[in-house]
Amino acid sequence: MAEDRIGVRKTYKLYIGGAFPRSESGRTYEIVGGSGHFLANAAQASRKDARDSVVAARKAFPSWSAATAYNRGQILYRVAELLEGRRSQFVDEVALAGGLSPADAQREVAEAIDRWVWYAGWSDKIAAVAGAANPVVGPYFNFSVPEPTGVVAVIAPQSPSLLGLVSVVAPIILTGNTCVVVASERSPLPAVTLSEVLATSDLPGGVVNLLTGFTAELAPGLAAHMDVNAIDLAGVEWSVVAELEHAAADNVKRVLLPSETDWYTDPGTARLTAFLETKTVWHPVGV
Amino acid sequence: MTFDYAPAPESRDVAKLRSSYGLYIGGQFVDPFGGEAFKTISPATEEVLAEVATAGAEDVDRAVLAARKAYDEVWRALPGRERAKYLFRIARILQERSRELAVVETLDNGKPIRESRDVDIPLAAAHFFYYAGWADKLPYAGLGPDPQPLGVAAQVIPWNFPLLMLAWKIAPALAAGNTVVLKPAETTPLTALLFAEICQQADLPPGVVNILTGAGETGRALVGHPGVDKVAFTGSTEVGKEILRTLAGSRTKLTLELGGKAANIVFDDAPIDQAVEGIVNGIFFNQGHVCCAGSRLLVQESVLDPLLDKLKRRLGTLRLGDPMDKNTDIGAINSAEQLARITALADSGVAEGATRWSPECELPGTGFWFAPTLFTDVAQSTRIAREEIFGPVLSVLTFRTPDEAVEKANNTPYGLSAGVWTEKGSRILWMAQRLRAGVVWANTFNRFDPASPFGGYKESGFGREGGVPGLAAYLAKGSHG
């Protein structure tokens, strides 16, 4: 059946604290598809939007980090269910954004959904792998548990637009962190659609805050922000890493460096443990 | 009537120090290129103990090269079970020479002989013993089937637990197959130099361990050296940030164990005598020269007065003086510089309106001393409640509810340790979950063990020492990881 009606286009907005604001700066930038044609005007987030996102992420941290691992796993799995339901939409968007063939777009979206499911299952297992009961000398019960680092800023991979994003966000929030994500600069539209999925899942507002805009404008402020505990530089060029790490030193942020990554391979636990702290608790044993 | 303690000094005869020490590079003591040296003194008497070489940039080059050569040609290819035997040997020699090491540590650092004898040296040996057992079991550490060493590790350690910090750094590095260049603190180089002799006695292959003495310049040259694959630093948050900036944009692996301002939280149902002992141990152990010291005492308001009475009475019984005396509780402040820093911060407490108290306490005429000090009426905004003092100074604050205790305890950029005193088990766990600190001591304080991971949240650094996380700090996942 021919499309003889005029389509209803979507306004692509930011996702901050569970709401969908435009940039406070009122700016947008043009997103073009793989073949160079106009796709949309995405919001061009400002440094103020980034700071507002940090506030939202900090506010969400206490309750999200205190949720049970089972609960967080359930919520993440629910996100995967919703992703599955929107699969064809994501395939279209990923194909348009990256200029991918339908088969490649199918593959990316399938992998992204499966990746989300894979991480969801880790929620109540990572403590068994990264924690321990420690056999100390003397009459003490001593155990170590992994805990979330706090608020994590993320520069998402520039591509693949959806799989890269999912691969960095899921491990961060699964363990109880909250985050501020700068989406792929050139291909941010699948990220905006993902934020719509997150908003209609049971994920509390503020756990993931998603910004579209220019990495060069947003990354330095997030790297220097004193209420951000860690930063994942997956999507930045190596040439700016030194400057960002320099800024991140101000409050001893944990920094995950960009590296050559095949996003289609088994990710291992490295992205989970990168944003975990080990807490060790001692108590005397006695009657 | 009062009973005086008769002097019970430990003999110094067991400490056979040379008058001067070179740098330990490639298995030999060598003279520094620049020919410069500095004196290390006893902070209790200000007598010169020995003269120690200052390592310059060329010496750092030489040491890193020696470590690289040992890594490439010997150590990385040595089967884990063979590395293990060297580490077991070192653990045993540390035990055999423990008395000598304790005496030298106390002379050089100023800490009571009771502490170096019962804590520092046994724990140092235990660390080598623990990590020796890991050397041939790396595939079982949960880091992938084929974890790999990083290469040459540059390690810079502080003066508060000289040999113990050396053990925390060197034992896991060597077990994982790395070689090391370690710089001890300028005021406490002696046990590291004795450790170099111990490496010789153990026939450790030359270059696997290199010891460079010197001050901040030497440390800067070492951590910034391009031939280094891993940097491990324990010290102040200020220097930790400087290292972060130095290494920005490099792929050098880094772990930092930095400062702290730990809250020691006492609830109204706490076993009060036990808590008083824990408070004293928390802040006056090692003259308060402890990054995880319980320097902020948070007391539930309803028990403040009885607790302060008991605490003050207990502080009145602490014996300050000759660190070599086996009855001494509080020894000397490590250096004139540190004494000046503590004095200035304590003075700021008075200036900012807090009430200062110390027991009657006669300070020796020579050396560096600071009486145990307690501040009440402390506002959270004051320097003595916010800044790491690294001395025997306790700031007392109060709270009413558990939520308030958590909020005040976490109201710091640091996050190294915390203490909780209560008889209620569920409250201990509730608090332990909410305190943003790497170590939580419940109804105890300042306990350490090689099997127990130690390290901070937030600006107290990252990475852990002890246990599997301490090993992971020196390994990369293998190709199959």
Contact between B103 and B65 under an 8 Å Cβ cutoff? The reply is no
CB neighbour list of residue A159: distance below 8 Å, 6 or more residues apart: A98, A184, A186, A187
The closest CB to that of B440, out of A66, A257, A279, belongs to A279
User: If pLDDT is split at 50, 70 and 90, which confidence band does B481 have?
Assistant: very low
The arithmetic mean of pLDDT across residues A8-31, rounded, is 97
Residues B384-397: tens digit of each pLDDT: 999 999 999 999 99
Contacts of A286 in chain B (CB under 8 A): none
Mean pLDDT of chain B: 97
The arithmetic mean of pLDDT across residues B408-433, rounded, is 98
B467 CB within 8 Å of a chain A CB: yes
Per-residue confidence (pLDDT) for residue B4, from 0 to 100:
80
Per-residue confidence (pLDDT) for residue A97, from 0 to 100:
85
Inter-chain CB proximity A280 and B452 less than 8 Å: yes
B481 CB within 8 Å of a chain A CB: yes
B237 CB within 8 Å of a chain A CB: yes
B130 CB within 8 Å of a chain A CB: no
Percentage of chain B with pLDDT > 90? 97
**Cα–Cα distances in angstroms (integers) from residue B53 to residues B175, B187, B295, B420, in the given order:** 28, 12, 35, 44
Q: Kindly tell me if the per-residue pLDDT of A3 is higher than 80.
A: no
Q: B199 by DSSP, 3-state: which?
A: helix
**Cα–Cα distances in angstroms (integers) from residue B408 to residues B263, B401, B432, in the given order:** 8, 11, 14
CB neighbour list of residue A10: distance below 8 Å, 6 or more residues apart: A40
Show the tokens assigned to B357. 């108290």
Q: B266 by DSSP, 3-state: which?
A: strand
Inter-chain CB proximity B241 and A249 less than 8 Å: yes
Show the tokens assigned to A46. 């400002």
Closest CA of chain A from B336, distance in Å:
29
The arithmetic mean of pLDDT across residues B405-417, rounded, is 98
Q: What angle do CA B445, A281, B121 make, to 5 degrees?
A: 50
Contact between B230 and B68 under an 8 Å Cβ cutoff? The reply is no
B 23-42 near A (Cβ less than 8 A): none
Q: Kindly tell me if the per-residue pLDDT of B42 is higher than 90.
A: yes
Q: Which residues of B are known catalytic residues?
A: 257, 291
B457 CB within 8 Å of a chain A CB: yes
Nearest CA in chain A to B123: A137
Q: Which pTM does this prediction carry? A: 0.96
Closest CA of chain B from A12, distance in Å:
34
B327 CB within 8 Å of a chain A CB: no
B461 CB within 8 Å of a chain A CB: yes
The closest CB to that of A245, out of B248, B444, B469, belongs to B248
Cβ contacts from A onto B, under 8 A: 111
Per-residue confidence (pLDDT) for residue A99, from 0 to 100:
86
B 216-235 near A (Cβ less than 8 A): none
Per-residue confidence (pLDDT) for residue B460, from 0 to 100:
98
Contacts of A148 in chain B (CB under 8 A): none
Inter-chain CB proximity B248 and A268 less than 8 Å: no
Inter-chain CB proximity B447 and A132 less than 8 Å: no
Contacts of A245 in chain B (CB under 8 A): 244-245, 247-249
Inter-chain CB proximity A270 and B126 less than 8 Å: no
Per-residue confidence (pLDDT) for residue B1, from 0 to 100:
60
Strand order in the sheet with A208-211: A208-211, A178-182, A151-155, A230-232, A254-256
User: If pLDDT is split at 50, 70 and 90, which confidence band does B2 have?
Assistant: low
- How far apart CA B336 and CA B71 sit, in angstroms, is 39
Residue with tokens 């509810």: B401
Angle between helical axes of B80-96 and B98-109 (0-180°, round to 10): 70
Residues A54-96: tens digit of each pLDDT: 999 999 999 999 999 999 999 999 999 999 999 999 999 999 9
Q: Kindly tell me if the per-residue pLDDT of B480 is higher than 50.
A: no
Inter-chain CB proximity B249 and A142 less than 8 Å: no
User: If pLDDT is split at 50, 70 and 90, which confidence band does B269 have?
Assistant: very high
Nearest CA in chain B to A256: B251
Closest CA of chain B from A111, distance in Å:
21
Per-residue confidence (pLDDT) for residue A36, from 0 to 100:
87
CB neighbour list of residue A50: distance below 8 Å, 6 or more residues apart: A180, A182, A211, A218, A221, A222, A225
Contacts of B144 in chain A (CB under 8 A): 268
Contact between B231 and B247 under an 8 Å Cβ cutoff? The reply is yes
Contact between A108 and A162 under an 8 Å Cβ cutoff? The reply is yes
Q: Kindly tell me if the per-residue pLDDT of A2 is higher than 70.
A: no
- How far apart CA A68 and CA B253 sit, in angstroms, is 33
Q: Kindly tell me if the per-residue pLDDT of A130 is higher than 60.
A: yes
- How far apart CA A254 and CA B129 sit, in angstroms, is 31
Residues B122-170: tens digit of each pLDDT: 999 999 999 999 999 999 999 989 999 999 999 999 999 999 999 999 9
DSSP string, B350-368: HHTTPEEE--S-PPPSSS-
The arithmetic mean of pLDDT across residues B444-469, rounded, is 98
Nearest CA in chain A to B259: A252
Closest CA of chain B from A203, distance in Å:
22
Per-residue confidence (pLDDT) for residue B302, from 0 to 100:
97
- How far apart CA B357 and CA B355 sit, in angstroms, is 7
Nearest CA in chain A to B430: A66
The CB density around residue B477, as the number of other CB atoms within 10 Å, is 16
Closest CA of chain A from B239, distance in Å:
11
Q: A160 by DSSP, 3-state: which?
A: coil
The arithmetic mean of pLDDT across residues B29-53, rounded, is 98
Reported ipTM: the value is 0.96
